[in-house]
């Protein structure tokens, strides 16, 4: 067999969607696993809807995912080869011109080109589905060009695949009904038939075809939500394919090594945001602190008056343990580490109950205890906890720990005070307790 060559042929009439990205990934994995080449062909012959902006979006998206192509072409650049093929088909009698009523302009006649259908059964071996048979009789003499110089999709794609020496056409199952038409054109032109594989559709959790009503569908959407490219690729690969063992977390290099098209399922693949989040969390957990900083949007945090890289490095583990994706990060949740919080004094009361005078007494006791600890103790969470715990247990943990945590963070929800204290340090922690005591009248 000739060198393996696969292709993805997106139409630049919209942004890069998940289904196209998954198809591109499978084509890439198959080609690279077999030592072959992966091509991109922009099918831009729909002049009314195709735009350079969409083409750029598609190419940028594939590049972001790391799916580097070995060759790039545009269908519009091959028009001469398409018209040559039309002329060849007409000359051989395999196609003919037909004057018919225009579907676009009422009352107008147009001359189109139809393939003379031999009306036979066609069987092709699908690498995923096995032998597939179509009776082409019902297709009739189908249209392959609007005119001798204006080819339609089926003819153009056949000519382009032949010229690019595509050995394997791997695409979504929604294209399976196109295959018999394209095989008939191949045979009429004397082309060698490529091998076919039709991937299962990506479905929503209601098992209908994935669409915008299920949520985000474009690659840009997931990029903007803070998913990493490695996790997104990892999840796309698992949509309809499974490895030989229970491994679920893969790099692109590992996917190439492991991929086997025989392990692609026939049935639809259910898209789950929950599973994508789980995979993304595994990938971001493996990032270095430096790489994690790059993923977070800290633009508002670094402008706060107490910000320092040192303190941020202490806060980072708290962020890392919570986030499934970078888009979950909200600067308000950690801003108190870098700026003195403001709050209403009555919120220092545990569950909004109790006596403010008792709360002041508890804070005074905690303040005195903490102030007597040496600097070394402030880097040890357990020492800080032990210094307060017995008193809190005696008078009521909530009555002691709630106002302490609240005056440090100013938030109803935040890490416990023994996590906050060593990050803020002795001086800043005592200053915030003093501020609370001053506010209590």
Average pLDDT of span 156-176: 96
- State the angle between helix axes of 273-285 and 229-238 in degrees (0 to 180), rounded to the nearest 10: 140
pLDDT of residue 73: 94
* pLDDT above 90: residue 209: no
Which residues are tagged catalytic? 212
Selection from 268, 266, 267, 260 nearest residue 243 by Cα: 260
Q: Using CA atoms, how far apart are residues 184 and 190, in angstroms rounded to an integer?
A: 10
Average pLDDT of span 324-347: 93
Share of the chain above pLDDT 90, in %: 85
Specify whether the CB–CB gap between 51 and 11 falls below 8 A: no
* pLDDT above 60: residue 293: yes
pLDDT of residue 214: 61
* pLDDT above 60: residue 1: no
Mean of all residue pLDDT scores within the chain: 93
Query: pLDDT per residue over 33-76, tens digit each?
Result: 999 999 999 998 777 888 999 999 999 999 999 999 999 999 98
pLDDT of residue 439: 87
Where does 166-272 have alpha helices with state H? 179-189, 219-224, 229-238, 252-258
For residue 135, name the pLDDT band (cuts at 50, 70, 90): very high
Secondary structure class of 192 (helix, strand, coil): coil
- C-alpha dist (Å) from residue 428 to 298, 365, 407, 432: 22, 17, 11, 6
- Range of weakest confidence among 40-54, 66-80, 309-323, 414-428: 40-54
Dmax over CA atoms of the chain, in Å, equals: 101
For residue 212, name the pLDDT band (cuts at 50, 70, 90): low
406 burial type by CB count under 10 A (0-12 exposed, 13-18 middle, 19+ buried): buried
pLDDT of residue 163: 95
Per DSSP, the chain holds a count of helices (H) and strands (E) of 15, 13
Specify whether the CB–CB gap between 99 and 110 falls below 8 A: yes
* pLDDT above 90: residue 171: yes
Query: pLDDT per residue over 102-134, tens digit each?
Result: 887 887 889 999 999 999 999 999 999 999 999
Q: pTM for the whole thing?
A: 0.89
Distance of CA 122 to the CA centre of its chain: 38
> What value, to the nearest 5°, has the Cα angle with vertex 317 and ends 307 and 406?
65
Distance of CA 108 to the CA centre of its chain: 47
pLDDT of residue 313: 94
């Amino acid at each position: 067999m000739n060198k393996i060559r696969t292709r993805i042929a997106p139409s630049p009439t919209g942004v890069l969607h998940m289904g196209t990205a998954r198809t591109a990934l499978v084509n890439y994995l198959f080609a690279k696993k077999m030592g072959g080449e992966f091509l991109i062909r922009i099918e831009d012959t729909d002049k009314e809807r195709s735009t350079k902006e969409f083409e750029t979006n598609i190419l940028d998206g594939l590049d972001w995912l790391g799916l580097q192509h070995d060759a790039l072409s545009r269908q519009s650049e091959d028009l001469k080869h398409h018209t040559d093929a039309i002329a060849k088909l007409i000359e051989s009698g395999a196609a003919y011109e037909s004057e018919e009523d225009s579907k676009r302009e009422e009352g107008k006649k147009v001359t189109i080109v139809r393939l003379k259908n031999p009306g036979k059964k066609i069987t092709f071996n699908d690498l995923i589905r096995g032998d597939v048979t179509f009776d082409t009789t019902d297709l009739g003499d189908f249209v392959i060009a609007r005119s001798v110089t204006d080819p339609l999709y089926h003819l153009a794609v056949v000519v382009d695949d032949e010229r690019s020496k595509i050995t394997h056409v791997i695409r979504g199952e929604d294209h399976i009904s196109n295959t018999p038409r394209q095989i008939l054109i191949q045979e009429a032109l004397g082309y060698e038939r490529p091998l076919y594989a039709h991937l299962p559709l990506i479905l929503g959790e209601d098992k209908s075809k994935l669409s915008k009503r299920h949520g985000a569908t474009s690659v840009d959407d997931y990029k903007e939500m803070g998913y990493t490219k490695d996790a997104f690729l990892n999840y796309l690969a698992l949509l309809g394919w499974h490895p030989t063992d229970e491994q679920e977390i893969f790099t692109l290099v590992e996917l190439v090594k492991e991929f086997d098209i025989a392990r692609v399922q026939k049935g639809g693949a259910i898209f789950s945001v929950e599973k994508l989040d789980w995979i993304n969390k595994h990938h971001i957990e493996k990032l270095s602190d430096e790489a994690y900083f790059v993923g977070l949007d800290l633009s508002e945090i670094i402008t706060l008056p107490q910000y320092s890289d040192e303190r941020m490095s202490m806060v980072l583990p708290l962020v890392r343990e919570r986030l499934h994706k970078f888009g979950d990060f909200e600067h308000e949740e950690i801003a108190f580490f870098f700026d003195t919080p403001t709050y209403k004094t009555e919120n220092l009361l545990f569950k909004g109950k109790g006596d403010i005078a008792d709360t002041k007494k508890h804070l005074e006791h905690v303040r005195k205890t903490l102030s007597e600890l040496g600097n070394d103790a402030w880097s040890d969470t357990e020492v800080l906890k032990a210094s307060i715990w017995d008193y809190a247990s005696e008078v009521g943990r909530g009555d002691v720990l709630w106002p302490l945590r609240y005056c440090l963070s100013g938030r109803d929800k935040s890490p416990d005070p023994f996590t906050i204290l060593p990050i803020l340090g002795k001086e800043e922690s005592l200053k915030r307790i003093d501020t609370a005591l001053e506010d209590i009248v």
